[in-house]
Structure 1
């Protein structure tokens, strides 16, 4: 079965400059002309701007969304909306309520010393209804589009061929201190996650804020909650940017897709996604459409590396071991990559590289028994320096071996292997070095003894991948 959908975010209907109006009009014709028909539509919040939700704006925004629905040949019952931080009215009364759950003094932006209160069912009732008019305008738009009453809760919706997990990240939004203080990891979300099954249906989560805007202490928990409850892909907005973020704390490297809004301002990247999922092959194709200012038209993106010819396609990780189609296109690319690497090894007189599992086992034994100096080399060493306690991580081996006196880490330039990472949807080693650096600086360095040292080198044009050297006694 084929399932198709459109994903939008950040309409911000307050914007009425001529470029924005043109972008919106062209969007409607693009959907129709390119026959981007959809079984459902995701809308990731920020329909309004700064809480300005008077009746005229609600009508204008609602009329435009209905035009999108009509252009895509979709039923309004299959439109899924979630609020953004600009969709609620900000007030001192709301800040007072927020403070009860966040412990933030919204006059100073500083944390209070009191214990934070849990986001339980009563919290959602208080934050949605206890602060008059907070979501009133958005609730009217929601009713106008879906015909349903907006409750503001996290919600799992199940259909014949898919499930949607609607996550309200704006429940604690509405201040100048939202970033890094938002929270969704709570009992009500867990209860909705329990409704998701590990079957052939695609499981999609969508929300306004990406995981990077949640509290630091919550990001890992949220990512792993999504993986544990069989979510296949996440869509978000808010940043007005285009990107694919990999959930580094998941074993299947879950992806979060973010797009901008159909408007023109100083930093927004006008964009939307058109996705096609084949439940027989479990392949998902995500087409990124962006607006070209020069020709004033929407086209498949040709400037985003993660989207080759405007398309990012992959077998959903949850099905990779099951799918008979998984070994076709990907393995052909990997075979070509292996031949290239074999030729490269022969140039240096290396007979063969160890299989990954064998290399990991030997590497861990070498590090645990090492004395004196040790050298680690790799493109990003992200898995090696993952703080999760799995067999790929070397963090604990390094921290517990006090016989190691000096650690040299070579983060090598991935020119040789970089083309191969296009298989991983543009998630390149360069983009993952940050994880390694964070672990070294904040988890390993503080555990070093006075007689231990660590050095990090960025070496251009050196083509080494996954190597470890220890003193030979």
Structure 2
């Protein structure tokens, strides 16, 4: 399966801003994208996450030209421009403000939202009328006004378009917005293919929604196999990871498309090669008037302007005998240290570390070819473990046998409970996962793969799996 993709993410253009710095920045943005395409191939799609206009202003010929220039320079097809509305892409009115205030200040806003009638929806949609006309003109696509959210399906990816702005139109609206959970669920439930890259796009970050909705939105993203969420609104770039679910979920926020005292003009380039995703953040240096990789304020996972993570973990790890394993080196090192620091007290035993013929081990333990193939795939990461185990600056000389002892402890518990080595490996992984899943904040699939890597490493390095299941019959 070829999931290789490349995209451009821009947000909060506010094209009515026409000061010198903003004009200079936008023109150089077009040049920068042109250079990117000529050096590193064209894009597959562009995402604009709202606030094309400013305070409901009209969509001028200038902003349409700017976006069309982006389309032409990036090399995408026009149908692969994806745009969602922002809070500045709507017309405000007293009727709208009073209507929204009555909903957000009701005793149970979420219940109120669940029971809105068609007349109320029509009034909420009215404020976005100009945006959707602009959307039809610039994309050549027709927006289905019967839906708040909708999916656009392509051969290798799906874009889940989210309208986070229907309750916009009042002051201090952050934390008082709704994604309309029931409408979201109806659109995405069982409608997304696991094997495709599924990207949700919206204007607001999750923190702008009602507190009662936030976890439910993330639950639905994870449950329905959405891989990441791209958004804007805050005018500051940010990358965040939610790891309080069945797997990690990634949120990338672009900065603004304007230059002022508050905003940080930032765009991102995302790329997926096989199962590795990288997002690179570029910010405008207004002093030197140049685009550079952004290194500040993005969090520790973003290093030198770039964040890397793996996607499609369930797809990669469900049938490991058929699929290549990818482990991000820095993340795996962090895991080993976290694991060591959280496994608690174990009885320390002297374990003789010496290598034996792996083929003989697997034969004696009655392991099938699938496990041998897994071992070979995981084996390329043994050097990472060895680097940590041999470097006292990571764990300390007296602590490096703790992890091997934890694995050996589990091995000795279950050695005589199963008839073959395949079952033993899986049970070791499951038992260690059950013991430490609440102490180490990794998704289930990633944690199990990391644990299995450690198990295979210990099989390679010491005397577990030296028993002979062939003689048990």
Q: TM-score if structure 2 supplies the norm length? A: 0.67
Quickly say closer, same or farther: Cα 1:221–1:113, change in 2 above 3 A. closer
Other structure's SS at 1:170 match: coil
Other structure's SS at 2:75 match: coil
Shift of 1:353: 2.5
For 2:222 and 2:125, the matched residues in 1 are separated by 36
Q: Is the 8 A contact 1:167 1:206 kept in 2?
A: yes
Q: Counterpart in 2 of 1:326?
A: 326
Quickly say closer, same or farther: Cα 1:9–1:344, change in 2 above 3 A. closer
Shift of 1:48: 1.1
Please point out which of 26, 33, 36 is paired with 1:34.
Answer: 36
Please point out which of 9, 18, 27 is paired with 2:11.
Answer: 9
For 2:27 and 2:121, the matched residues in 1 are separated by 33
Q: Counterpart in 2 of 1:268?
A: 263
For 1:128 and 1:27, the matched residues in 2 are separated by 38
State how 1:51-90 maps to structure 2 within 5 Å.
Answer: 51-53=56-58, 57-90=59-92
Consecutive unaligned residues of structure 2, counting only runs of 5 or more, are 333-380, 411-433, 440-445, 447-473
Higher strand share: 1
Q: Is the 8 A contact 2:125 2:166 kept in 1?
A: no
Aligned length: 352
Quickly say closer, same or farther: Cα 1:113–1:302, change in 2 above 3 A. closer
Shift of 1:18: 0.5
State how 1:181-196 maps to structure 2 within 5 Å.
Answer: 181-196=176-191
For 2:272 and 2:207, the matched residues in 1 are separated by 26
Other structure's SS at 1:241 match: coil
Quickly say closer, same or farther: Cα 1:115–1:70, change in 2 above 3 A. closer
Consecutive unaligned residues of structure 1, counting only runs of 5 or more, are 105-111, 362-388, 395-423, 425-473
Higher relative contact order (CA 8 A, sep 6+): 2
Please point out which of 173, 185, 195 is paired with 1:178.
Answer: 173
For 1:178 and 1:230, the matched residues in 2 are separated by 29
CA RMSD in angstroms comes to: 3.1
For 2:261 and 2:324, the matched residues in 1 are separated by 46
Q: Does 1:113 align with 2:116?
A: no
State how 1:17-416 maps to structure 2 within 5 Å.
Answer: 17-35=19-37, 37-53=42-58, 57-102=59-104, 104=105, 112-113=106-107, 117-119=111-113, 126=119, 129-130=122-123, 133-150=126-143, 151=145, 153-278=148-273, 281-303=274-296, 305-316=300-311, 317-321=313-317, 322=320, 323-327=323-327, 329=329, 332=381, 334-335=384-385, 338-339=388-389, 345-347=395-397, 349-350=398-399, 352-354=401-403, 392-393=437-438
Higher helix share: 2
Shift of 1:97: 2.6
Q: TM-score if structure 1 supplies the norm length? A: 0.67
Shift of 1:327: 3.9
For 2:134 and 2:405, the matched residues in 1 are separated by 53
For 1:31 and 1:4, the matched residues in 2 are separated by 12
For 1:78 and 1:49, the matched residues in 2 are separated by 24
Q: Is the 8 A contact 1:93 1:131 kept in 2?
A: no
Q: Which has the larger radius of gyration?
A: 2
Q: Is the 8 A contact 2:12 2:232 kept in 1?
A: yes
Shift of 1:273: 1.3
